[in-house]
Amino acid sequence: MTAASPATKAARQAQIAGILAHAQVRSQEELAGMLADRGVHVAQATLSRDLEELGAVRLRGAAGALVYALPGDPGGPGSRPGGVGATGPGAAGPGRTGPGGTGPGAAGPEGAAAHVPASAGQPNGAEPAAYGALPRVAAELLVSAEASANLVVLRTPAGGAQLLASALDHAEWPAILGTVAGDDTVLVIARDPTGGGELAGALLRQAERRT
């Protein structure tokens, strides 16, 4: 399954960061056109606000023209969220998450925390209208979702994985067996051995309830 991005602020800003990391962008109009080519349509005021929040600055490029650039320190203002690059909508780079713990809150070698929701042992249930704070948190943090078998990999901006995993845990979603959170990546384990794709779609819909 190809990584899919919800229509959220976090996903849009990840696309902007990916474009600026790989292309010489001279104006907001040019950037808006590049986003439109990816299926992301954004108003000028929103794009200006996104650039400000990402910490974008205009620097003189090799050809002498002023181009947009982002600070390059990982995790700092303007760092690229969730490993998302410029290869296409929702494209995700290598993550750092692995099963790093053996119980709730256990820390793994990469600083990942494993979580088991209180709903463990409950039968699978239909997707709810909303799960507590999950739609709000997902709308702010979910950059992309990609599934394989019963696993779903969620990308977030740097430092957002723990908060998103916590919202998933507190949602007590019966279809979720547990989560493992790193810095910008959450591994979600579906209870159904082939339920990753369905769960990824449901998580994207949760994020888009608040957009």
| Predicted local confidence at residue 75, as pLDDT | 42
For the entire predicted model, the pTM comes to: 0.56
Give 72's pLDDT tier (boundaries 50, 70, 90). low
- The residue among 205 and 121 whose pLDDT is bigger is 205
- Can you give the residue range of the structural domain that contains 77? 9-83
| Share of residues in the chain with pLDDT > 70 (%) | 68
Contact 122, 192 (CB under 8 A): no
Let me know whether 197 and 115 are in one domain. Answer: yes
In this structure, the answer to whether residues 60 and 152 fall within a common structural domain is no
pLDDT of residue 127: 55
The verdict on residue 92 lying in a domain is no
186 is a domain residue: yes
- CA distances for 133 relative to 78, 92, 171, angstroms: 26, 25, 8
One domain, residues 73 and 114: no
Per-residue pLDDT, 197: 94
* Secondary structure class of 139 (helix, strand, coil): helix
Residues 5-16 have pLDDT tens digits of: 777 788 888 889
The candidate with the shortest Cα–Cα distance to 181, out of 92, 123, 90, 96, is: 96
Q: What is the pLDDT of residues 108-149, one digit of tens each?
A: 334 445 544 444 333 344 455 456 788 888 988 899 999 999
Q: Are 112 and 97 within 8 A, CB to CB? A: yes
Query: What pLDDT sits at residue 116?
Result: 44
Structure confidence at residue 71 (pLDDT): 74
Count how many residues are written for the chain.
Answer: 211
In the chain, the number of structural domains is 2
Q: In what order do the strands lie in the sheet with 144-148?
A: 106-107, 113-115, 176-181, 185-190, 151-155, 144-148
3-class DSSP state of 123: coil
Q: Judge whether 200 lies within some domain.
A: yes
Whether residue 170 is contained in a domain is answered as yes
Place of tokens 């808006």: 32
